[in-house]
């Protein structure tokens, strides 16, 4: 065989083997028949079309798989639906029935809070879970209306009613639809912009203070209809006041309460609270007790009592025809042509979206499924934004309440055996059946019962507050306690909008204040060692060197955190630590050597480079020698070259590997 023939065969086979790596190896027979370059070339040309066609087919198949994975990432139903097994349907159906029995009745309470027709609450349990099931990234999370969003809707509805003098349920539903749709737009834009990290801005003290404030507002607001004082509060102008003024109204007009309404509401509230305490006490021994629908029982019993005894004729206000306008599916309504309404409700929509996303994010991270049956379902904050945004936009087109993930119902879904998003799909179907077959039977439901159920939600929202207060007090978290108190008082005494604004402003101020401080430390050598150095404020027994200052820059420098670099460096030079008042006299001698340990300086922007250049030039002019050690990042070194820092300190010889080498270079006795 000629050498050219051998080379051609090896090239041909090498190409074929390389092109089909991962898909199998193509084998060739009669290699020794290639006796010339021409034969070899002919063999190469004969084999290549067949190999290329198969290779293209395999590549196209891989491209299709990658394309499908890409679409499945953004549309999770393409991942879980092909995996779904028919025997999972039983568990998902049981979970959907359990969640519906407990939380469908709550939809009426949320509608009462929002001042809208109860059907708007039910529609939110039809559309939102269905959309989220196909687009959401948390399989066990159940999406539905929440107390906070409903309360925000109710505040806007009351303002518009007061200004327009109208109280029509359809107009109220339109307002709710616009708020829901605009909240969805805010979430969708945030998701497309990939800013899912915003949930980390809302820290626990802020959210706990706000949620407790909302719970307090909810309890006070629902106490008025529970006592039969709703008409009187409207006559006296208290319907639009803050919770503090409403509390004053309740105390001063308690003698005018409607006795039958108060008894019905308080007995229902007592039943729910006692039943919940019993559930907690017995849950370890009887896990199934968590699935008992206490709210459904409360509605059923009080409805039958009201109907049999004719309590509505004795002044007890009932749901009546408002909830029995006839079984029908949601009607489409385009909310984005109401420009005047959009302008009025945009702030409320934004707040609802922000709080709803945070609660959904916390819920998604907190859910711990008892068994995992689906694969490749990673949680993504940006996909959650898109899923919740799409659900609320579509929900707004049917005049629903804003809906987000809720921890209570999602946890119940897991406890009842729900493992896949099919539970949300089934929940939507069950709610549709409720609209057609159960809604007409709710004529005699007392409104006081629904208000009592809402008050129970408010109490549950405040339950974690004492625990957090004790913890922050125990660890001396005065800043966190102050934030909680200010947000709570602003929410309870003025409005939820002010509470959110106060919390966000304080949080942003804290973040900015924290991020604008440059993290620099003065180092001392640990006694008995030659190469170990530690922060002198943490280890004050460390060895210091005369007229030599060793400073560690422990983080990247940007315009935000480098502004006070010169001031903080000067304080270390004068006093050896940060927490010294600048009016005190200097205690350290002037330094002749300044060593920068910059291992943590992984990045530096132009503004910080300019400032550091000025600092180095100032020390050099004063006769000090500046040395840098442990600089690893090429980008940082390039900035040092371009800015003139390298030339200012004397060249690359003054960039060394460690602090010990820097001391030797400076001639300091180590």
CA angle 466, 472, 477 (to 5 degrees): 150
* pLDDT given for residue 46 in this prediction: 40
Q: What is the pTM of this model?
A: 0.71
pLDDT at 22: 39
CB neighbours of 586 closer than 8 A, spacing ≥ 6? 574, 575
pLDDT at 220: 93
pLDDT for 422 equals 94
Distance (Å, whole) CA 110 – CA 165: 23
The domain segmentation of the chain, as residue ranges, is: 3-74, 87-258+287-511, 520-666
Listed as ranges, residues in the chain with pLDDT below 50 are: 1-52, 166, 323-325
How distant is the alpha carbon of residue 320 from its chain centre? Answer: 39
Reported as a single tens digit per residue, the pLDDT across 40-87 is: 434 333 443 444 455 566 556 777 777 777 787 778 888 888 888 888
Answer positive or negative: Cα dihedral of 101, 106, 107, 108.
positive
**First-to-last CA distance in the chain?**
72
Torsion angle (degrees, nearest 10) of CA 431, 436, 442, 447? 50
Residues 6+ apart with CB under 8 A from 436: 327
Residue environment code for 311-350, b if the CB has 16+ CB neighbours within 10 A, otherwise e: bbeeebbbbeebbeeeeeebeebebeebeebbebbbebbb
Residue whose C-alpha is closest to residue 518's, from 585, 628, 604: 604
For Cα atoms 489, 491, 492, give the angle at the middle one, nearest 5 degrees: 65
Which tokens hold the place of 52?
A: 């290329």
Q: How far is CA 153 from CA 145, 159, 183, 196, in A?
A: 11, 10, 11, 24
- Classify residue 149 by burial, with Cβ atoms within 10 Å: 0-12, 13-18, 19+: buried
| Angle at the Cα of 113 from the Cα atoms of 356 and 109, rounded to 5 degrees | 95
Distance CA 630, CA 621 (A): 24
Q: What pLDDT score was predicted for residue 23?
A: 37
d(CA 95, CA 424): 9
Residue 421's SS3 state is coil
Q: 39: Cβ–Cβ under 8 A, 6 or more apart, which residues? A: 5, 33
Q: Which residues, in sequence order, are CB contacts of 477 under 8 Å at separation 6+?
A: 205, 471
Integer Cα distance of 402 and 229 in angstroms = 28
- For residue 100, what are the CA distances in angstroms to 84, 122, 273, 360, 388? 22, 11, 20, 19, 20
How high is the pLDDT of residue 518?
A: 65
Place of tokens 């800015």: 643
* Residues 389 and 188 sit within 8 Å (Cβ to Cβ): yes
- Which residue from 646, 652, 569, 557 is spatially nearest to 606, judged by alpha carbons? 557
d(CA 233, CA 557): 58
The secondary structure of residue 331, as a DSSP letter, is P
Please provide the CATH number assigned to the domain covering 520-666.
Answer: 3.30.750.24
What tokens were used for 457? 């939600």
Q: What is the pLDDT at residue 640?
A: 94
For the chain, what is the radius of gyration of the CA atoms? 34
Query: Would strands 593-597 and 625-629 be described as parallel, antiparallel, or unpaired?
Result: parallel
The per-residue pLDDT for 537 is: 65
pLDDT at 421 (0 to 100): 92
- From the list 8, 448, 621, 310, the residue with the least C-alpha distance to 613 is 621
């Amino acid at each position: 065989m000629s050498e050219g023939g051998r080379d051609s065969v090896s090239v041909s086979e090498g190409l074929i083997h390389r092109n089909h790596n991962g898909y199998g190896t193509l084998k060739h027979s009669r290699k020794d028949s290639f006796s010339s370059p021409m034969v070899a070339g002919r063999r190469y040309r004969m084999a290549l079309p067949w190999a290329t066609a198969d290779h293209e087919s395999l590549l196209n198949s891989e491209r299709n798989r990658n394309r499908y994975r890409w679409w499945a990432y953004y549309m999770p139903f393409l991942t879980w639906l092909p995996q779904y097994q028919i025997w999972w349907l039983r568990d998902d159906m049981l979970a959907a029935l359990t969640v519906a029995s407990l939380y469908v009745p709550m939809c009426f309470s949320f509608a009462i809070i929002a001042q809208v027709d109860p059907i708007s609450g039910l529609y939110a349990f039809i559309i939102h879970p269905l959309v989220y099931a196909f687009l959401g990234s948390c399989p066990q999370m159940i999406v539905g209306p929440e107390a906070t969003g409903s309360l925000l809707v109710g505040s806007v509805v009351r303002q518009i009613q007061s200004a327009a003098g109208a109280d029509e349920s359809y107009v109220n539903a339109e307002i709710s639809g616009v708020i829901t749709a605009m909240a969805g737009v805010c979430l969708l834009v945030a998701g497309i912009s990939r800013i899912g990290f915003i949930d980390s801005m809302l820290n626990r003290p802020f959210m706990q203070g706000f949620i407790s404030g909302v719970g307090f507002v909810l309890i006070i607001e629902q106490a008025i209809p529970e006592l039969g004082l709703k008409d009187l509060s409207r006559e006296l102008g208290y319907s639009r006041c803050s919770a503090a003024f409403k509390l004053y109204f309740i105390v001063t007009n308690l003698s005018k309460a409607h006795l039958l309404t108060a008894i019905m509401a308080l007995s229902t509230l007592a039943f729910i609270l006692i039943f919940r305490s019993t559930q907690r006490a017995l849950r370890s021994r009887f896990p199934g007790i968590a699935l008992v629908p206490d709210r459904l029982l409360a509605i059923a019993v009080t409805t039958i009592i009201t109907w049999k005894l004719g309590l509505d004729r004795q002044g007890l206000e009932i749901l009546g025809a408002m909830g029995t306008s006839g079984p029908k599916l949601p009607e489409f309504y385009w909310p984005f042509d109401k420009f005047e309404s959009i302008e009025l409700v945009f702030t409320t929509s934004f707040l609802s979206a922000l709080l709803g996303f945070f609660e959904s994010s916390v819920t998604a991270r907190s859910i711990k499924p008892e068994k995992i049956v689906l694969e490749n379902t990673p949680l993504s904050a940006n996909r959650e934004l898109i899923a919740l945004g799409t659900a609320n936009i579509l929900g707004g087109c049917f005049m629903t309440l804003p809906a987000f993930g809720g921890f209570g119902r999602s946890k119940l879904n897991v406890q009842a055996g729900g493992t896949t998003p099919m539970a949300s799909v089934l929940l939507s179907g069950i709610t549709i059946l409720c609209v057609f077959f159960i809604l007409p039977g709710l004529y005699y439901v007392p409104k006081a019962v629904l208000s009592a159920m809402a008050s129970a939600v408010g109490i549950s929202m405040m339950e974690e507050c004492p625990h957090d207060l004790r913890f922050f007090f125990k660890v001396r978290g005065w800043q966190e306690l102050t934030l909680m108190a200010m947000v709570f008082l602003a929410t309870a005494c003025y409005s939820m909008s002010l509470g959110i604004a106060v919390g966000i402003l304080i949080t942003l101020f804290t973040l900015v204040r924290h991020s604008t401080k440059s993290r620099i430390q003065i180092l001392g050598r640990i006694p008995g060692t030659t190469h170990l150095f530690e922060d002198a404020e943490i280890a004050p027994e460390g060895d210091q060197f005369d007229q030599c200052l060793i400073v560690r820059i422990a983080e990247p420098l940007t315009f935000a955190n480098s502004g006070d670099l010169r001031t903080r460096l000067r304080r270390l030079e004068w006093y050896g630590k940060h927490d010294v008042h600048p009016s005190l006299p200097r205690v350290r001698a002037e330094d002749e050597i300044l060593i920068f340990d910059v291992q943590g300086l992984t990045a530096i922007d132009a503004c910080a480079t300019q400032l550091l250049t000025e600092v180095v030039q100032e020390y050099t002019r004063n006769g000090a020698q500046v040395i840098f050690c442990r600089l690893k990042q090429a980008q940082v070194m390039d900035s040092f070259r371009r800015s003139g820092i390298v030339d200012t300190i004397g060249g690359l010889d003054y960039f060394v590997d460690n602090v010990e080498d820097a001391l030797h270079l400076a001639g300091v006795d180590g």
